[in-house]
Amino acid sequence: MDHLPCRRKVRPEGALDTGSLGPNIAAMNSSEWQQSVRRACSPCAFHIQRDLANRGKRSASLKLVTLLGVWLIALASGVAAEPGQWKAGVAKVTITPTEPVWMAGYAARTGPSDGALVDLYARALVLTDARNARLTIVTMDLIEIPDTLRQRIVDALRTNHGIKPEELLLNVSHTHGGPMISAKTVADWGIPAVWGQRADNYVRELVEKVNAVVGTALSNATPATISYSHARCGFAMNRRISTPGGYTLGLNPDGPVDHDVPLLRVRSSEKKLIGLVFGYACHNTALGPTRKLHGDYAGFAQRKLEKDHPEAVTLFLMGCGGDQDPQPRRHQEDAEQNGLALASAVEAALAAAQVQLGATLSASLEMCPLAFAPLPPRHEIAERAKSGDGFVSRHARWVLKQWPNPDDQPADYQLPVQVVVLGQKLTLVALGGEPVVDYSIRLKRELASDGRPVWVAGYANLVSAYVPSRRVLLEGGYEGTQAVIYQSLPGPFRTDVEERIVASVHRQSKLLHGKSEAK
């Protein structure tokens, strides 16, 4: 099979029942974060006030009013205009499975992993501003962040390091060369259960490693300077093509792309390069369904950059590449070539003029409720349950089981939408799921003002569903409607999904920048 970009089930069925489709009921049972959500939010109570005055000299408090049923989780840290200095710490740890696992991303594989082509890593950067506001970025060479994994990492980092959810940005590269990390996925693919146990074991070790690598980054903190720049890289190509039979996957050189390569440069006070955060909006699918573990083009790019800058840890932030594929692709040489191209773009960004970012940081996080389109009549779903396609029939049976009555409709999907402002200049947006490129194009256009740079990442904090734009939803095709059966969603989102997400971003950005400018 040439292209099976995301044929994966994403979470245990129980978690899906209540965690992803309902108001986070399962999460509430296990996560302090979700407990705070329950306390702070209700469908008709949309105010959270966190007095930031006790962080410093300010006496102002902050009141967030959410609209359209968006549930606000928290506002993180204050913004200060006083001069000061960053502290930054970085660390990395290999998360390559130590025993064979079943790999995620391609249904064409017929056996477990057979060693590693390139090691997989979790990488951490902890930034602390002049007022001790903190942002922790953790990137992982994995395909997804199921709700259960997110909760476990959030809980561990909060318990052991005092990191609040709004201070944490998790991101995965979406490599299709990593392990399955859900026993549910293993079962859905008809793979022997022993590999599901391996997945569970792997996740247990993964959470411990992420906890440890963040602890190391914290202990490595040193006075630092931070700057932003960007360059361009051209191998991402839109993969949605219009055919007489509807939209399908292919090569669309005329489709929208985002070739931006944003870069955050972190240097010690001695001007030693200690950290690089860079982004790109493209699926990590340059390599085909090999059984060697690897991080795809992003893995090769990071390997090259860390070889050339041995004292730096490089973190790849996946962008809004839901409908983007690398070209050329399929062979190892393609992945290496794309990785080198991206690394070269990072070097170009390093050589370009830098926007210095003062030591101020603010961040916020909302859970944005995305509504599903009404379920079709039950008799139609029952027909699908007879399909010879195992994915189609399993999905239909699952829908009938979850929503058996004609009037049953799924609850909203809760998508994390995070906004971070650095140095009162750079706006970093981190969207959950697999957003299509329309989001980064639109948000960069709408948020840009006074030359302030905007960086839009996807694949952040919870990655278990495509996030189509209104255009893509109306067009249909894989990312709009078809992939839902591989991602354990009841059906496509409603067409107002884009407006809900964009409104959440604008609301948070305005709040954070307004706070910044008021200082």
3-state secondary structure of 260: strand
Residue 258 CB partners (closer than 8 Å, separation 6+):
236, 281, 319, 320, 321, 324, 437, 440, 441, 444, 456
CB of 39 to Zn ion, least distance (A): 34
Nearer to Zn ion, 27 or 431 (CB): 431
Residue 455 CB partners (closer than 8 Å, separation 6+):
228, 262, 279, 317, 426, 427, 428, 429
CB of 312 to Zn ion, least distance (A): 28
CB of 436 to Zn ion, least distance (A): 10
Dmax (CA) for the chain in angstroms is 69
Decide: 488 and 455 in contact? Cβ < 8 Å. no
CB of 323 to Zn ion, least distance (A): 9
Binding segment (CB under 5 A) for Zn ion, from list 3-11, 63-71, 198-206, 418-426: 3-11
CB of 284 to Zn ion, least distance (A): 9
**Cα–Cα distance measured from residue 460 to residue 27, given in angstroms and rounded to the nearest whole number:** 18
Binding segment (CB under 5 A) for Zn ion, from list 178-186, 213-221, 429-437, 489-497: 429-437
Q: What is the dihedral of CA 480, 486, 489, 494, to 10 degrees?
A: 10
Chain mean position to CA 410:
23
Nearer to Zn ion, 128 or 171 (CB): 171
- Ramachandran area for residue 159 (φ above 0: left; ψ -120 to 50: alpha; else beta): alpha
CB of 393 to Zn ion, least distance (A): 23
CB of 174 to Zn ion, least distance (A): 6
CB of 487 to Zn ion, least distance (A): 9
Nearer to Zn ion, 398 or 466 (CB): 466
Binding segment (CB under 5 A) for Zn ion, from list 13-21, 62-70, 431-439, 472-480: 431-439
Nearer to Zn ion, 70 or 463 (CB): 463
**Cα–Cα distance measured from residue 252 to residue 370, given in angstroms and rounded to the nearest whole number:** 28
Instruction: Write a three-state SS string for 161-183.
Output: HCCCHHHEEEEECCCCCCECCCH
Annotate each residue in 434-453 with x if it binds Zn ion (CB under 5 A) or - if it does not, as one string.
Answer: x-------------------
**Cα–Cα distance measured from residue 58 to residue 9, given in angstroms and rounded to the nearest whole number:** 47
* 319 touching Zn ion, by CB under 5 A: no
Q: Which residue is nearest to Zn ion (CB)?
A: 6
Nearer to Zn ion, 170 or 381 (CB): 170
Nearer to Zn ion, 5 or 275 (CB): 5
Burial class, 463, CB count within 10 angstroms (exposed 0-12 / middle 13-18 / buried 19+): buried
AA letter at 420: V
Decide: 229 and 265 in contact? Cβ < 8 Å. yes
Burial class, 332, CB count within 10 angstroms (exposed 0-12 / middle 13-18 / buried 19+): middle
Closest-CA residue to 168 (of 462, 504, 494): 462
Nearer to Zn ion, 5 or 480 (CB): 5
Binding segment (CB under 5 A) for Zn ion, from list 128-136, 153-161, 245-253, 432-440: 432-440
Nearer to Zn ion, 5 or 279 (CB): 5
**Cα–Cα distance measured from residue 391 to residue 488, given in angstroms and rounded to the nearest whole number:** 10
Binding segment (CB under 5 A) for Zn ion, from list 4-12, 274-282, 295-303, 312-320: 4-12
Residues touching Zn ion, count (CB under 5 A): 3
Nearer to Zn ion, 6 or 341 (CB): 6
CB of 10 to Zn ion, least distance (A): 11
AA letter at 105: G
CB of 376 to Zn ion, least distance (A): 25
Residue 447 CB partners (closer than 8 Å, separation 6+):
427, 429, 454, 505, 506, 509
Nearer to Zn ion, 6 or 320 (CB): 6
Nearer to Zn ion, 293 or 355 (CB): 293
Q: Which of 1, 2, 3, 5 binds Zn ion (CB under 5 A)?
A: 5
Nearer to Zn ion, 336 or 434 (CB): 434
Binding segment (CB under 5 A) for Zn ion, from list 1-9, 224-232, 324-332, 423-431: 1-9
* 143 touching Zn ion, by CB under 5 A: no
Binding segment (CB under 5 A) for Zn ion, from list 78-86, 113-121, 232-240, 427-435: 427-435
CB of 508 to Zn ion, least distance (A): 25
* 6 touching Zn ion, by CB under 5 A: yes
**Cα–Cα distance measured from residue 372 to residue 410, given in angstroms and rounded to the nearest whole number:** 7
**Cα–Cα distance measured from residue 172 to residue 511, given in angstroms and rounded to the nearest whole number:** 27
CA angle 148, 420, 365 (to 5 degrees): 40
Contacts with Zn ion, residue ranges (CB under 5 A): 5-6, 434
